[in-house]
Amino acid sequence: ASVAVAVAVLGAGFANQTEVKAAGPDSSPQNVSSDRDIYELHEELWKEYDILKEKLDKDQEEREKIELNYLKKLDKNQEEREKLELDYLKKLDHEHKEHQKEQQEQEERQKNQEQLERQSQREV
């Protein structure tokens, strides 16, 4: 890229018929220093990127563990709720049958009582 710039500068110099001189050796260390700074900055940014990526991966794993734990608890709660509902329905059914049985016994006693009353009226 620097060769292309030099050729472009030379071309511009010829077009303007001006003298073009190459930069002296004094500017070279500044470019090397600048290149070194850019390289160091690049390395520093890559290290920071790696640290952040590692933290992101760790956070992702932690989130997945929490989510899995949440889903397990949710499933367990669902099972417990279904069991409670089933127990409640069984109890309700049992109470209903008991009530029907008591009602039937009450009706039988009533029927027997009426029969006894009719019998006693016939005897009198």
The CA distances from residue 74 to 63, 64, 69, 71, 86, in Å, are 16, 15, 9, 5, 18
d(CA 41, CA 35) in angstroms, rounded, equals 10
Q: Please give the helix or strand (H or E) that residue 12 lies within, else none.
A: helix 2-16
Report pLDDT digits (tens) over 16-68: 554 545 555 554 555 667 888 999 999 999 999 999 999 999 999 999 999 99
d(CA 101, CA 60) in angstroms, rounded, equals 61
The percent of residues above 90 in pLDDT, for the chain, comes to: 65
